[in-house]
Amino acid sequence: MATLTVRLPRMLSAFADGKLEFEVEGETLAGALDALTTRYPALAVHLFDEHRRLRGHVLCFHNDDNTRWLPSLDRPVKSGDVITIMQAVTGGG
Amino acid sequence: MSVLLIVGTDKGAFLLRSDAARAQWTVEGPLFKGWRVTAASRDAQGRTFLGVNSMVYGPAIQVSDDLKSWRQVNGPAYPPGGRRKLTQIWKIFQANDAHWCGVAEAGLFRSDDRGESWRPVDGLNEHETAAVWSPGAGGLCTHVVLHDRTNRQRMWCGISAVGVFRTDDGGRTWQPKNKGVTVVLEDKIYKDVGYCVHGLAQDPDDPSLIWRQDHRGMYRTRNGGDTWEKIERGLPSGFGFPIALHARSRALFAIPLESDEFRMPPEGKLRVYRSTDDGESWTALSKGLPQGHSYDVVLRHALTVDVLDPAGVYFGTTAGTLYGSRDAGESWHALPLIAPRIVCLAASAE
């Protein structure tokens, strides 16, 4: 089981005991994301839609890889990896 | 007695407090910084509910029993794979030992555990007319819920741009109640829907007496919605969004706009209109409000009243200004908050 670092945007930290960064364990990226929402269930509705797909404006990086570009989240992870959640919003005025 | 005013804005909620004089206010916040706070209410036991939303992270309900610690409850949510998605919390309302939540896309949810979990009210959500429900400019939303405290089986809800529905069997079945109101979006088959209710206010002593700020005018029913009559004497326009009743004094308050085409204060004058005769006539109230080049708007949930006497009346605008009156609308003053766009207000006693 690998230990990964999760980094959250400030708007979501309220749903993770105020933390911007914490650790989760998993063998795969999907498993680590499951561990993330198991630990902080309130995050699930804000990260994923009802089909367990990332919401349209939520970005998730596994180290430097945008998870949208991955064929599957069932990729192995290793200790020290970082999951970074960001919001994908441009424009506005 | 002191007053708590919850101000929901596009970027968080603020708590304003004052003593009974309502002359000096303290400000706390923002709560849920960055989140759009779309609904605010307190139940009879003092639990506070906030509907929060983000275009990135979606909607949820946050609750607090002490206004200090908050937690997110489970739901509401439409069943996965269905034709509808839950896009916003519009109203959280306590009635008949349950809590009710109006949402967009339009529907109603019920909680029997004080808001901890929610289940859909299928009699409304799966109504035979639901397939032809169409959104208004604010979306397709159930934004108001009323109940009859003398008849636990009877409730009402308002859906934009569909109309008012009433249940007489505790929420199992719902009937459109829009007779007498001018239709906005007439359907080819279902003639009972296509009405654009913007706001409702209800007489607590006579729950069948309801006032309706509609897209097509100001209306009143004396028979629980079976028939509606227009009541616009003294109003500069029948179009507007918020309406509120101060139950203790029976004063009605509304803030009309210039037509659905322009949606601005008539003549650029920010005015509240009050009726003290059940809506038969309306009088403009403007002392202390800008009477020139004022073009901000008061959204449907951004007008409220407190329970004191004389009435405290409060409204917030899309420009983020917050006004209060401690003399039933005779005079107004700005409250000490320049907020983001103000979406909703809730006043309660502490």
Q: Residue B86: its pLDDT value, please? A: 94
Q: In the predicted model, what is the mean pLDDT of residues B225-229? A: 98
Contacts of B218 (CB under 8 A, 6+ apart): B211, B212, B230, B231, B232, B235, B238, B240, B243, B254, B256, B279, B282
Domains and CATH numbers, chain A: 2-87 (3.10.20.30)
User: Do A55 and B33 make contact, defined as CB atoms within 8 angstroms?
Assistant: no
Q: What is the pLDDT of residues B268-309, one digit of tens each?
A: 999 999 999 999 999 999 999 999 999 999 999 999 999 999
Please report residues of A whose CB lies closer than 8 A to that of B57: 11-12, 46-47, 55, 58, 87
Please report residues of B whose CB lies closer than 8 A to that of A58: 56-57
Q: How confident is the model at residue A57 (pLDDT cuts 50, 70, 90)?
A: very high
What global pTM score does this model have?
Answer: 0.96
Q: What is the pLDDT of residues B245-269, one digit of tens each?
A: 999 999 999 999 999 999 999 999 9
Q: In the predicted model, what is the mean pLDDT of residues B120-140? A: 94
Domains and CATH numbers, chain B: 2-349 (2.130.10.10)
Q: How far apart are CA B161 and CA B157, in angstroms?
A: 12
Q: In the predicted model, what is the mean pLDDT of residues B123-131? A: 97
Q: Parallel, antiparallel, or unpaired: how do β-strands B36-42 and B98-104 relate?
A: unpaired
Q: Residue B82: its pLDDT value, please? A: 84
**CB contact, 8 Å: B58 with chain A?**
yes
Residue B246 in contact with residue B276, Cβ under 8 Å?
Answer: no
Q: What percent of chain B has pLDDT over 70?
A: 100
User: Do A12 and B77 make contact, defined as CB atoms within 8 angstroms?
Assistant: no
Q: In the predicted model, what is the mean pLDDT of residues B176-204? A: 96
Q: Residue A93: its pLDDT value, please? A: 64
**What is the 3 state secondary structure string of chain A?**
CEEEEEECCHHHHCCCCCCCEEEEEECEHHHHHHHHHHHCCHHHHHHECCCCCECCCEEEEECCEEHHHCCCCCCECCCCCEEEEEECCCCCC
**How many cross-chain Cβ pairs, A to B, lie less than 8 Å apart?**
44
**CB contact, 8 Å: A47 with chain B?**
yes
**B193 exposure class (CB count in 10 Å sphere: 0-12, 13-18, 19+):** buried
Q: What is the pLDDT of residues B25-78, one digit of tens each?
A: 999 999 999 999 999 999 999 999 999 999 999 999 999 999 999 999 998 999
Q: What is the pLDDT of residues B50-60, one digit of tens each?
A: 999 999 999 99
Q: In the predicted model, what is the mean pLDDT of residues A60-81? A: 96
Q: What percent of chain A has pLDDT over 90?
A: 88
Q: What is the pLDDT of residues B235-246, one digit of tens each?
A: 999 999 999 999
Contacts of B168 (CB under 8 A, 6+ apart): B151, B153, B154, B175
Q: Which of A14, A51, A58 sits opposite B56 (nearest CB)?
A: A58
Residue B165 in contact with residue B176, Cβ under 8 Å?
Answer: yes
Is residue A92's pLDDT more than 70? no
Q: What is the ipTM of this complex?
A: 0.93
Q: How confident is the model at residue B350 (pLDDT cuts 50, 70, 90)?
A: confident
User: Do A11 and B71 make contact, defined as CB atoms within 8 angstroms?
Assistant: no
Per-residue exposure over B314-328, b if at least 16 CB sit within 10 Å of its own CB, e if not: bbbbbebbbbbbbeb
Q: Residue A51: its pLDDT value, please? A: 83
Neighbours of A44 (CB within 10 A): 15
| Average pLDDT of every residue of chain B | 96
**Distance between B34 CA and the closest CA of chain A, angstroms:** 7
Rounded to 10 degrees, the C-alpha dihedral A30/A33/A37/A38 comes to 60
Q: Parallel, antiparallel, or unpaired: how do β-strands A82-87 and A2-7 relate?
A: parallel
